[in-house]
Amino acid sequence: MIPAEKIRAGDILRILPGETIPVDGTIVSGETSVDQSIMTGESLPVDKSVGEAVFCGTLNRFGAIDIRATKVGQDSSLQKLIRMVQEAEEKRAPMARIADKAASWLVPAALLIAAVTGLVTRDIVRSVTVLVVFCPCALVLATPTAIMAAIGQATKYGVIIKSGEALEKMGRVDTIAFDKTGTLTYGHLQVSDILSFDPELDAEALLSAAASAEAKSEHPLGKAIVDCAVARKVPVLEPKDFKMQAGRGVCAEVKGRKMVCGSEAFLEEYGISVGEAARAALEDFRNKGKASILVAMDGQCAGVLAMSDGLRPEAADIVERLHGMGTSVVLLTGDHQQTANYFAAQVGITQVRAQLLPEEKVECIAALQQEGKQVCMIGDGVNDAPALKTANVGVAMGNLGSDIAVEAADIVLMRDDISQVPYLKRLSNATVKTIKGSIALSMAINLVAVVLSVRGLLNPTAGALVHNAGSCFVVLIAALLYDRKFQ
């Protein structure tokens, strides 16, 4: 074991099962499956063999591998990811508020009108009254009071809004980009299909046999099968002569029967023929973005089990509601195109960008912004952090999300409930409308009061009452946001 900072390009490193890969490199010996979710967001581990690249920060799930370091230290993919977050933060310009812009010309205008009124009417009282009623208190109160009420409202429902600027920007968002894994889906594998090719073997018996063979497996697919069997209270027996080949499959003896579970190529290595029915099922599951494991008993292919990342049941309704609010929805994911297309079709998303690295997600966000779109990015992983920072508004899943994603986001969903997204959009829209309405009301009151003051129909005392009445109206309108029902 050596400190990571001592690794140099060209060094040969041995990465054991369960260890995090410390640098970018190329495999020179061994086979394994690598969890790349930190970089790409893929829900399934990726099988790797000699000659293939591995990335810093990813997790070696199975099998010892030797890699040759290619990019180390500040050149590694993980460090580039961190730099992208920092650069995105520096590029973000503060938003000038409407009230600040108005105040820059309102005060000089008040002084000018008061001076002209005094010179023309020779009445100092009228000039003083103009200054009293023209004081932009209501105008200045419009934005912070509305934002304070809206942030308080959101907090009650487990939505943490870090700044008023984020809330205002969310009200102007017209495009929402979703990550897939851990956002539209739960981020963990579930058995979705159990298909038996043996008429004497029902789904429950096939699941029991496969789970028993995989009982000692540490592969996510094997664990998903065992978890499914336990949840369905299907018997899981202790396997004998268990052997596992990383990224390929397992073989074991269960109740005296020779079990082989894995890919088509793995079964063929044991001389097991995979029929046309099995191939058709594999192709169908592949088109649906599902991972499959073939199950063979005593030299015969007995069935197939398919696994998929579980789609959140509310996802389709959320997308439909966002479309109904005039908001475009885009899917940005590191998963394969087929998987992305399948899930997008399930929830009603037509704009799909798949197989994206973190920097490519940033490029997609920037391209949308160049088209004049106001973009909100919703994600949960480290790989989403640069996109969260680059978007006009970043929303992170607070419970399951990584610390760097939560830190990079402007808004955090503490309950990991994406059904809060339409609520958040409605609240933001209402806040922006309230701010604009309050500003319009305050300006109208000021305009009427100034005209009355110039004409001598208001004195300083009456002007002060009108001025304070405007401020009270603005605060009251903002306070109504706190208890309004947006759910």
pLDDT at 66: 92
pLDDT at 365: 92
Using CA atoms, how far residue 285 sits from 307, 339, 471, in Å, is: 9, 10, 63
DSSP letter at 251?
A: E
Asked if 174 contacts 326 with a C-beta cutoff of 8 angstroms, the reply is: yes
Most confident stretch, 211-215, 398-402, 445-449: 211-215
Using CA atoms, how far residue 50 sits from 27, 32, 36, 75, in Å, is: 5, 10, 17, 22
Asked if 413 contacts 398 with a C-beta cutoff of 8 angstroms, the reply is: yes
pLDDT at 95: 42
Distance CA 252, CA 254 (A): 6
Determine whether 179 is an active site residue: yes
Mean pLDDT on 39-58: 78
pLDDT at 258: 92
Q: Is the per-residue pLDDT at 412 higher than 80?
A: yes
Asked if 48 contacts 30 with a C-beta cutoff of 8 angstroms, the reply is: no
Asked if 363 contacts 385 with a C-beta cutoff of 8 angstroms, the reply is: no
Q: How confident is the model at residue 27 (pLDDT cuts 50, 70, 90)?
A: very high
Read off the pLDDT of residues 270-307 as tens digits, 9 standing for 90 and up: 888 888 888 888 888 887 778 889 999 988 888 999 98
Over the chain, what is the mean pLDDT?
82
| Domain 4-75: CATH architecture, name and number where available | Distorted Sandwich (2.70)
Of 179, 335, 380, 417, which residue is the catalytic one?
Answer: 179
Distance CA 351, CA 104 (A): 42
Distance CA 431, CA 54 (A): 46
- State what percent of residues in the chain have pLDDT above 90: 12
pLDDT at 97: 56
Read off the pLDDT of residues 78-110 as tens digits, 9 standing for 90 and up: 776 666 566 655 554 444 455 566 666 767 777
Domain 189-310 is classified in which CATH homologous superfamily?
Calcium-transporting ATPase, cytoplasmic domain N (3.40.1110.10)
pTM over 0.95: no
Cα 477 to chain centroid, rounded: 33
CA angle 150, 152, 154 (to 5 degrees): 70
Mean pLDDT on 354-371: 88
**DSSP H or E run through 80:** helix 77-91
Kindly list the domain boundaries of the chain, sorted by start residue.
4-75, 189-310
Distance CA 337, CA 341 (A): 6
- In terms of Cα–Cα distance, which of 5, 384, 449, 478 is closest to 181? 384
pLDDT at 440: 82
Q: Is the per-residue pLDDT at 358 higher than 60?
A: yes
